[in-house]
Amino acid sequence: MYMIAPSILSANFAKLGEEVDNVLASGADIVHFDVMDNHYVPNLTIGPLVCAAIRPRTKAPIDVHLMVKPVDALVPMFAKAGADIISFHPEASEHVDRTLALIRDQGCKAGLVFNPASGLHHLDHVMDRLDLILLMSVNPGFGGQSFIPETLRKAREARARIDAHRAAGGREIALEIDGGVKVDNIRMIAEAGVDTFVAGSAIFAAPDEDGGYRKVIGAMRAELAGCEQIGRAA
């Protein structure tokens, strides 16, 4: 199954609850929640209080993308605030294996995030600790940037690693992409082996007349319907 994960970074924060309701009612699968600390990345966004505020509105997974350093202290706070998935950048944790274990211990799914220039070697010894690999197709910190095409090569490499892990008896790992995803490139990204698509500005800048997002999410789904899912049972 392909998953669409709107990044609420591009939502109207003055009516965030309503935005979350609208985007999910329009066919989105996951709420992507970008946490920035003005230290690891040059921007400042939202924390556990906001996560807890939107949690009661939906059963859809909340996918917390931590762009913070250090990481560990925030993990239990987001788990308590209702996060389903917590991912972090390996460069932001002194002990990546320990942080991954901490996320799982808190009852959440765990993910590692790769900046455009970060190599996939960080995966070498932790595949069995992962539920998600998140590839940044822009530099983290801001919505509305352009997709970096080199990420497609990395996606194919990550897909091969996931498939090899599965073939060796490991469990399924989602492959998510984040940054510059639009209706006109989502298909190409899926063909590189990605199954979960974060999209912020592409979705929230294209509301329907009634404030929903059915048209843009429907157009993304239509693009995805045309491609055969790689590596996973649909």
The residue ranges that bind Zn ion (CB under 5 A) are 34, 65, 178
Q: Write out the catalytic residue numbers.
A: 34, 178
First CA to last CA distance, the chain = 5
Return the range that interacts with ligand DX5 (CB under 6 A); candidates 99-107, 174-182, 187-195, 213-221. Answer: 174-182
CA distance linking residue 48 with residue 80, whole number of Å: 8
Which residues lie below 8 Å from residue 211, measured CB to CB, with a gap of 6+? 18, 22
Q: State the chain's maximal CA–CA distance in angstroms.
A: 49
Q: How far is the CB of 135 from Zn ion (least distance, A)?
A: 11
Phi, psi torsion values for 18, nearest 5 degrees = -65, -40
CA distances, 171 to each of 24, 50, 168, 217, 219 (Å): 27, 31, 9, 29, 31
**Residue where the block lists tokens 């560990």:** 72
User: Residues 20-49: x/- map of binding to ligand DX5 (CB under 6 A)?
Assistant: ------------x-x---------------
State which residue, 108 or 181, has the beta carbon closest to ligand DX5: 181
- Binders in 96-125 for ligand DX5, by CB under 6 A: none
Q: Which does 199 bind (CB under 5 to 8 A by kind): ligand DX5, Zn ion, none?
A: ligand DX5
Q: Which does 223 bind (CB under 5 to 8 A by kind): Zn ion, ligand DX5, none?
A: none
Interface with ligand DX5 by CB under 6 A: which residues? 7, 9-10, 32, 34, 65, 138, 140-141, 143-145, 178-181, 198-202
